[in-house]
Protein backbone atom coordinates (compact mmCIF):
# COMPACT_ATOMS: atom_id res chain seq x y z
CA UNK A 1 0.00 0.00 0.00
CA UNK A 2 1.36 3.40 -1.05
CA UNK A 3 0.78 6.93 0.19
CA UNK A 4 -1.36 8.93 -2.25
CA UNK A 5 1.51 11.01 -3.64
CA UNK A 6 3.64 7.93 -4.47
CA UNK A 7 0.70 6.05 -6.01
CA UNK A 8 -0.09 9.11 -8.11
CA UNK A 9 3.55 9.41 -9.23
CA UNK A 10 3.66 5.73 -10.23
CA UNK A 11 0.22 5.88 -11.85
CA UNK A 12 -1.15 3.01 -9.76
CA UNK A 13 -3.84 2.41 -7.16
CA UNK A 14 -2.79 2.88 -3.56
CA UNK A 15 -3.17 -0.85 -2.96
CA UNK A 16 -0.76 -2.61 -5.26
CA UNK A 17 -0.64 -6.37 -5.68
CA UNK A 18 2.07 -8.14 -7.62
CA UNK A 19 3.89 -11.43 -7.69
CA UNK A 20 7.38 -11.24 -6.28
CA UNK A 21 10.30 -12.91 -7.99
CA UNK A 22 11.39 -14.26 -4.63
CA UNK A 23 11.94 -11.10 -2.61
CA UNK A 24 11.97 -12.16 1.03
CA UNK A 25 13.54 -9.09 2.61
CA UNK A 26 12.49 -5.46 2.93
CA UNK A 27 15.34 -4.49 0.61
CA UNK A 28 14.35 -7.11 -1.98
CA UNK A 29 10.74 -5.98 -1.99
CA UNK A 30 11.71 -2.32 -2.38
CA UNK A 31 14.14 -3.24 -5.16
CA UNK A 32 11.31 -5.00 -7.01
CA UNK A 33 8.91 -2.10 -6.50
CA UNK A 34 11.51 0.30 -7.90
CA UNK A 35 12.21 -1.98 -10.86
CA UNK A 36 8.47 -2.29 -11.72
CA UNK A 37 7.91 1.44 -11.15
CA UNK A 38 11.09 3.35 -12.07
CA UNK A 39 9.39 6.68 -11.34
CA UNK A 40 9.56 5.72 -7.65
CA UNK A 41 13.37 5.43 -7.59
CA UNK A 42 14.69 7.90 -5.09
CA UNK A 43 11.27 8.61 -3.58
CA UNK A 44 11.09 5.75 -1.06
CA UNK A 45 14.83 5.42 -0.50
CA UNK A 46 17.75 7.68 -1.28
CA UNK A 47 19.19 6.55 -4.63
CA UNK A 48 22.80 6.52 -3.53
CA UNK A 49 22.61 5.36 0.11
CA UNK A 50 19.44 3.23 -0.22
CA UNK A 51 18.32 4.57 3.19
CA UNK A 52 14.61 5.07 3.83
CA UNK A 53 13.39 8.62 3.31
CA UNK A 54 12.78 10.27 6.68
CA UNK A 55 9.13 11.07 5.93
CA UNK A 56 8.18 7.46 5.12
CA UNK A 57 7.56 4.50 7.43
CA UNK A 58 7.14 0.77 6.71
CA UNK A 59 4.49 -1.32 8.44
CA UNK A 60 3.34 -4.95 8.26
CA UNK A 61 1.31 -7.15 10.59
CA UNK A 62 0.56 -4.15 12.85
CA UNK A 63 4.27 -3.59 13.46
CA UNK A 64 6.56 -0.72 12.51
CA UNK A 65 9.38 -2.19 10.42
CA UNK A 66 10.94 1.18 9.62
CA UNK A 67 13.97 0.90 11.88
CA UNK A 68 14.82 -2.70 11.04
CA UNK A 69 17.78 -3.32 8.75
CA UNK A 70 16.53 -3.61 5.17
CA UNK A 71 18.12 -7.05 5.08
CA UNK A 72 15.44 -8.19 7.56
CA UNK A 73 13.12 -10.92 6.38
CA UNK A 74 9.56 -9.91 5.61
CA UNK A 75 6.90 -11.46 7.86
CA UNK A 76 5.54 -14.75 6.55
CA UNK A 77 2.05 -13.21 6.36
CA UNK A 78 3.35 -10.65 3.85
CA UNK A 79 5.21 -13.29 1.85
CA UNK A 80 2.06 -15.44 1.73
CA UNK A 81 -0.10 -12.51 0.62
CA UNK A 82 -2.18 -12.57 3.79
CA UNK A 83 -1.06 -9.13 5.03
CA UNK A 84 0.03 -6.01 3.17
CA UNK A 85 3.38 -4.28 3.34
CA UNK A 86 2.46 -0.65 3.94
CA UNK A 87 4.54 2.38 3.05
CA UNK A 88 3.06 5.23 5.05
CA UNK A 89 3.84 8.93 4.74
CA UNK A 90 4.43 10.88 7.91
CA UNK A 91 1.96 13.56 8.86
CA UNK A 92 3.20 16.77 10.41
CA UNK A 93 1.70 20.03 11.35
CA UNK A 94 0.98 22.24 14.24
**Per-residue 3-state assignment (H helix, E strand, C coil) for 12-75:** CCCCCCCCCCCCCEHHHHHHHHHHHCHHHCCCCECCCCCCECCCEEEEECCEECCCCCCCCECC
Nearest to 74 by CA among 10, 30, 13: 30
Give me the pLDDT at residue 4, please.
87
Residue 63, in any domain of the structure: yes
pLDDT score, position 61 = 96
Q: How many domains does the chain have?
A: 1
| Per-residue pLDDT at 17 | 78
Q: Is the pLDDT of residue 22 over 80?
A: no
Per-residue confidence (pLDDT) for residue 5, from 0 to 100? 86
Question: Looking at residues 2-31, what average pLDDT do you find?
Answer: 85
Q: Is residue 70 part of a domain?
A: yes
Average pLDDT over residues 61-76: 95
User: Does 94 reside within a domain?
Assistant: no
What is the domain range of residue 26?
4-89
User: Is 83 part of any domain?
Assistant: yes
| Predicted TM-score of the model (pTM) | 0.86
Specify the CATH number for the domain of residue 49: 3.10.20.30
Amino acid sequence: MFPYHLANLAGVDRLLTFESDGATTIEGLLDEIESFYPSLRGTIRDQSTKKRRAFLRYFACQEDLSNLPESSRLPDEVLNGEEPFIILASISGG
